[in-house]
Chains A and B, each alone.
Chain A
Amino acid sequence: MGTPGAGSGRFSALLLEGLDHYRKGRMLEAVRAWEEAYLLEPTNLRAREFLRSALERIHAHMGPPSAQPAQQETLEPRLPAPPSEAPAAAGHPWLPTQPAVVPPEPVPPPPSPPAQAQVFSMPPPGVDGEGHTQIYQTKPAAAVQPDAVLSPWDDGPSLAIPQKEEANNESSGAWSIHNSQPLPIEAVADDETLVWMKGARELLGLNDFSGALELLAKILARKPGDKEAHQMHELCESNLTLMYESKIGSMEARPRVAIPPDEVIWLNLDPRAGFVLAQIDGEVSFEDLYAICGLKRLDTARILCQLLEEGVVQVQGQDRAVAKRAMHRN
């Protein structure tokens, strides 16, 4: 789980962004977003798992294994090497929207990605990691309708169904990023929530409760009566709460504000966090703070966790632990 705060927000946003690209078939962008997320929190399992799964999936769809044994080796994920130690670009021989019926032509390389994005940087479309032109055609061209837009990892007959871009720009199908079996792409043109639900399930499977929660909130905003979404939402909330509370420690502890009142103004808080902070007086226990703050338990736990992490509040006996955490951050 990421550290709460701005970094964590960015991290989650990147994960979601990657997921969004991934579902829309924009694999390059997806991998880039996850790379960035990974660089933000190199120890975070979620980012690593996303990337690993994505690369495995890409690799799995790169054509008959027998034809490309060497290529498979070059596509082996290099995770979890820390970003600073990772070699620069081995490349991913994969082109997201290359039509199968169009012979690949060499195209100019894309603009150089930022330095920190080099770990998983992509080779030019149509060129594999070793500079070889890729052959994407895995089935006879005649079997594909002329205007079909195929992705190289799509191997089912449903890929032949023409999808109009304007009507389906959000519906390129859901991918399982951790299932070894290729998943058929679902047509979800008229219901984005199916895609979100699938994403939420995947995130939940990866223990990315906050990511799943965001998607579930979007689903529930559209379908307030969706029972499964409600159940998953509850599950995510309770898991996240548990995670935050395990960081907070004993609920009977009475936190106190650890910084002078005139320094509070320099913190980066929202009004809800400001409210929670105002209730902390060294006499009220964490458990009582939940009761008097009137926020959802998860929100209170998240804010308390943030305040503890940032050393804004302390619990007697935990001062050293807070200092240690602050030292690690610095």
Chain B
Amino acid sequence: MGELVIGIDLGTTNSVVATVHGGQPTVIPNRSGYRLTPSVVAMARNGKRLVGALARRQAVTNAERTVVAVKRLMGRRWSAKTTQDTLPRLPYTVVAGPHDDLRIALGDQQYSPPEISAMVLTELRLDAEAFFGEPVSKAVITCPAYFNDSQRNATKDAGRIAGLDVIRIINEPTSAALAYGFGRAQAEKQVAVFDLGGGTFDFTVLHMFKGVFEVEATGGDSLLGGEDFDNRIIDWLAVPFQEKHGIDLRKDKMALQRLRDAAEKAKCELSSLKTVEINLPFISATQASGPLHLQMSLTREKLEEMTKDLVDRCMKVCEQVMNEAKVHAAQLGDVLLVGGQTRMPRIQEQVRHIFGREPSKNVNPDEAVALGAAIQGSMLLHEESEMLLLDVTPHSLGIAIAGGFFQKIIAKNTTVPTSAHHVFTTVKDDQTSAKITVLQGESEISLDNELLGEFMLTGLRSAPRGGVDIDVIFDISADGIVSVSAVDVQTGVRQSITVTASSGLTEEEIQKAALANEDWMLGQKEDPDFQDRKTKAEELFKEFEALWPKLTRAAANGLGQDPLQRAQAALSVARLQVAQKESEGLASSIDRLERMLGALKGAIERGLGGPQ
């Protein structure tokens, strides 16, 4: 087997890992057998770190120690308005980090968003290693098309912390389209990717030509996803219950967790069934009436009725993005459905209605992005060039200019590597220095854009206002590293900066987090002797169980209760050690139990066991 590479769809709600196996892109099931792993990390009350399905299942009852949708915080600055807008919606505690970044309080520790994402990535890596039976280190990870450099870097850092060599970060719609186009002769066409995931909606128009994928337009609603559909069902279940019994189940964490699980299950089932029964016995109780059960029937029609506005919001976004890109539905070659929520028949109908065509069914909506990433990883690793994937700048790049405005130098969606320059002049008489503030974004107002870095160009010759020309040059390498230079055209004085978009973590912090993660992984690995000891202990448990009636008789016949009580205590301790995987302690317990068993058998043989 050659060098292994995996493709990872690191989603807001769910993540998927895939690979190209035997020439075919394949999703790697997790160690529980599921193809999707919830992007949820929790610190359970018993101190155990939970990742994936288990973390999700306790997300409501342990909300303050469960991190969901950390993707929304990746690469964000604490001081950014978008961050402050996001924080009130999060059930867990987020505090300011040391570099104007974020830290998430989880248990008695604080973690940066890349560290939390790394926990999910580590889980996926372990799944992949279990699948291959050997270590995996190389990965392609996807991110939304609108992610800026900081967010992409944060994703890359998360990969590094998880012990992965992230060979490329690619856009999710591009990845989905790659999966769609894999192995097929490609004609030039525009493709729309309709991605309705658990927590976000993204709509992207791609231009595909001879294996080249270019993002033409992208947009979405970061607060619209499958969970909103679930919430409608939860309300539909809870409101009548409240009217009847005066109890708001949404305020009871345990009840809400059950409602959420049931709502999601019902929603999924209604993609193929017309009606589902929702039964939640013992959901609550009152003094007067005792236990209360919730039993209701939900039809697909009712679900469509109560989520109509959500579907309409999706369609509105599609229209806006297409208008911006000046693309007509008739021009589109295909519409790809991505994200589990697109399985809802009503959404497929609406897509059909808006775009005037049947959405593509060649792509598994949950898996397309990860499969595309796996394909890209395989191509990069094996230097296959039949499908060249171009990276584009997700946002415009430029500098702040007088009056608080933003001057774009490189437009968004420009393929990289690229270079561009623009000449500016001084704004004051005898101005000897100029501050170059490098920004990223689309707003004309500099403050509304993302700060990438700044530097001073000093030693300018003395001249009247407008008398000094300064050439500002932007270079973006194939790796996405932005270099900005400013040159006094007349004197040749030059200053430059290399903008390495930061995830908020320093190199030292990343290394430290990676080591901590590695330690954790080592801690997870079982003592190789544990399984043998566990088997031995379980044999002893059975032997004691079989012997117990005789021992009880022996106790009555003169042996006394004391040896039995001591044996019982030793058995309890050993059982706990098995449960807690305390390999060393279990070894001593086994010795002890064996000695006890020998002595007790001897006592029985000496006739203390009474009639057989």
Contact = CB atoms under 8 A, between A and B. Distances in A.
A116 interface: no
Contacts of A249: 575
A275 B579 contact: no
Interface string B262-292: 0000000000000000011111110000010
A243 B283 CA distance: 28
B331 interface: no
A291 B58 contact: yes
B58 A287 contact: no
Interface in A221-269: 242-243, 245-246, 249-252, 261, 264-265, 267, 269
A162 B54 CA distance: 63
A283 interface: yes
Interface residues of B, number: 36
A248 B62 CA distance: 24
A293 B572 CA distance: 23
B593 to A, nearest CB: 13
Contacts of A264: 281-282
Interface in B342-376: none
B89 interface: no
A287 B576 CA distance: 11
Contact of A242 (B45, B255, B576): B576
Contacts of B428: none
Given A245-B579, A284-B54, A278 B538 contact: no
A101 to B, nearest CB: 46
Q: Output the residue of B252, B291, B576, B579 with the most chain A CB within 10 A.
A: B579
Nearest to B277: A261
A131 interface: no
Contact of B44 (A269, A271, A283, A292): A292
A328 to B, nearest CB: 13
Nearest to B295: A265
Contacts of A290: 44, 46
A265 B293 contact: yes
Contact of B579 (A252, A271, A293): A252
Contacts of A273: 282
A250 B44 contact: no
Interface residues of A, number: 34
Contacts of A243: 572
B255 A293 contact: no
A294 interface: yes
Contacts of B576: 242, 245-246
A270 B32 contact: no
A273 B578 CA distance: 25
Given A250-B538, A271-B282, A291-B54, A278 B261 contact: yes
A250 B575 contact: yes
A274 interface: yes
A76 interface: no
B571 A279 contact: no
A272 interface: yes
A297 B45 CA distance: 9
Nearest to B280: A278
Contacts of B62: 294
Given A250-B579, A270-B291, A294 B58 contact: yes
B58 A246 contact: no
A279 B281 contact: no
A122 interface: no
A271 B46 contact: no
A136 B257 CA distance: 64
Given A292-B44, A294-B62, A251 B261 contact: no
A272 B282 CA distance: 8
B61 interface: yes
A269 B284 CA distance: 10
A292 B45 CA distance: 9
Nearest to B571: A246
B48 A274 contact: no
Nearest to B252: A271
Contacts of A297: 46
A243 B58 CA distance: 25
B612 interface: no
B82 to A, nearest CB: 31
Contacts, number: 92
Interface string A273-305: 111011100011011101111101100000000
Nearest to A270: B285
Nearest to A276: B254
Contacts of A252: 578-579
Interface in B522-570: 538, 568
B580 interface: yes
Given A246-B575, A272-B254, A283-B32, A293 B61 contact: yes
B58 A293 contact: yes
Contacts of A265: 281, 293
B575 A271 contact: no
A215 to B, nearest CB: 24
A306 to B, nearest CB: 13
B257 A275 contact: yes
Nearest to B47: A291
B50 interface: yes
Nearest to B257: A275
Interface string B462-486: 0000000000000000000000000
Contacts of A283: 32
B578 A275 contact: no
A150 B538 CA distance: 58
A242 to B, nearest CB: 5
Contacts of B254: 271-272, 275, 294
Nearest to B261: A278
Given A265-B293, A292-B50, A292-B57, A271 B284 contact: yes
Contacts of B45: 291, 294, 296
B33 to A, nearest CB: 8
A105 B258 CA distance: 66
Contacts of A271: 252, 254-255, 282-285, 291
Q: Output the residue of A242, A267, A279 with the most chain B CB within 10 A.
A: A279
Contacts of B261: 278
Contacts of B461: none
A209 to B, nearest CB: 13
A291 B44 contact: yes
Given A264-B281, A292-B50, A293-B58, A251 B253 contact: no
B578 A291 contact: no
Contacts of B568: 246
A106 B1 CA distance: 99
Given A278-B280, A288-B54, A290-B46, A251 B578 contact: yes
Contacts of A270: 282, 285, 291
B258 A278 contact: yes
Contacts of A274: 280-283, 291
| Nearest 10 A/B pairs, CB to CB | A274-B282, A251-B579, A294-B61, A291-B44, A292-B58, A246-B572, A275-B254, A292-B57, A269-B282, A294-B62
Given A271-B255, A272-B254, 13 more contacts: A245-B575, A246-B575, A251-B579, A252-B578, A252-B579, A264-B282, A269-B282, A270-B291, A277-B282, A284-B54, A291-B45, A293-B58, A294-B58
17 contacts: A242-B576, A245-B575, A245-B579, A246-B576, A252-B578, A270-B285, A271-B254, A271-B285, A271-B291, A278-B261, A286-B579, A291-B48, A291-B50, A291-B54, A292-B57, A294-B61, A294-B253
